[in-house]
Amino acid sequence: MAAASSVAPQSSPLHLCERLLLFLVCFGRNPNPRFRESMEGLSLIFRVFSWLCLVASVGGIGANWGTQTSHPLPPSTVVRLLRDNGFQKVKLFDADAGTMDALGKSGLEVMVGIPNDMLAVLASSSKAAQNWVSSNVSAYINDGVNIRSKLRYLIRVSLVESFAYSFNWYVAVGNEPFLETYNGSFLQTTFPALQNIQSALMKAGVGSQVKVTVPLNADVYGSPSGRPSDGDFRSDIHDLMLAIIKLLSDNAGPFTVNIYPFISLYRDPNFPIDYAFFDGNSSPVVDGTISYTNMFDANHDTLIWALKKNGYGNLPVVVGEIGWPTDGDMNANPQNAQRFNQGFMNHISMGQGTPMRPGPIDAYLFSLVDEDEKSIQPGNFERHWGVFTYDGLPKYQLNLGTTKTGSLIQAQNIQYLDKKWCILKPAVAPDDSRIAPSISYACSQADCTALGYKTSCGDLDEQGNISYAFNNYYQKNDQDDIACGFSNLATVTEKDPSTRTCRFEIMIVVDSGMPGKLQGVRDCGVALLLAVFVSVVWQLV
Work out the angle between the directed axes of helices 238-250 and 190-203 (0-180°, nearest 10): 10
The closest alpha carbon to 213, from 176, 164, 184, belongs to: 176
CA 155 to chain CA centroid, Å, is 30
Give the DSSP letter of residue 272.
-
CA 205 to chain CA centroid, Å, is 28
Per the annotation, the verdict on 321 as an active-site residue is: yes
Q: What angle (nearest 5°) sits at the alpha carbon of residue 513, between those of residues 508 and 519?
A: 145
The closest alpha carbon to 234, from 179, 162, 293, 160, belongs to: 179
Residues facing 317 on adjacent strands: 255
Q: What angle (nearest 5°) sits at the alpha carbon of residue 372, between those of residues 512 and 513?
A: 10
The closest alpha carbon to 99, from 368, 362, 325, 363, belongs to: 368
Give the DSSP letter of residue 392.
S
Q: In what order do the strands lie in the sheet with 362-365?
A: 210-213, 169-173, 109-114, 89-92, 61-65, 362-365, 317-322, 255-258, 215-217
Q: Which of 18, 37, 161, 176 is catalytic?
A: 176
Q: Where are the alpha helices (DSSP H) in 365-461?
A: 435-445
Q: Are 520 and 80 in contact (CB under 8 A)?
A: yes
Class of residue 346 by CB neighbours under 10 A (exposed 0-12, middle 13-18, buried 19+): middle
Q: Are 473 and 445 in contact (CB under 8 A)?
A: yes
Q: Which of 18, 321, 382, 505 is catalytic?
A: 321
- Reply yes or no: is the peptide bond before residue 149 cis, omega within 30 of 0: no
CA 289 to chain CA centroid, Å, is 33
The closest alpha carbon to 257, from 302, 317, 188, belongs to: 317
The dihedrals phi and psi of 190, each to the nearest 5 degrees, come to: -65, -50
Q: Are 337 and 325 in contact (CB under 8 A)?
A: yes
The closest alpha carbon to 465, from 504, 420, 413, 427, belongs to: 504
Give the DSSP letter of residue 352.
-
Instruction: Centre a 10 Å sphere on the Cβ of residue 96 and count the other Cβ atoms it contains.
Output: 17
In angstroms and rounded to an integer, the radius of gyration of the C-alpha atoms of the chain is 25
3-state helix, strand, coil in the chain (%, to 5): 45, 15, 45
Q: Are 401 and 12 in contact (CB under 8 A)?
A: yes
Active site residues: 176, 321
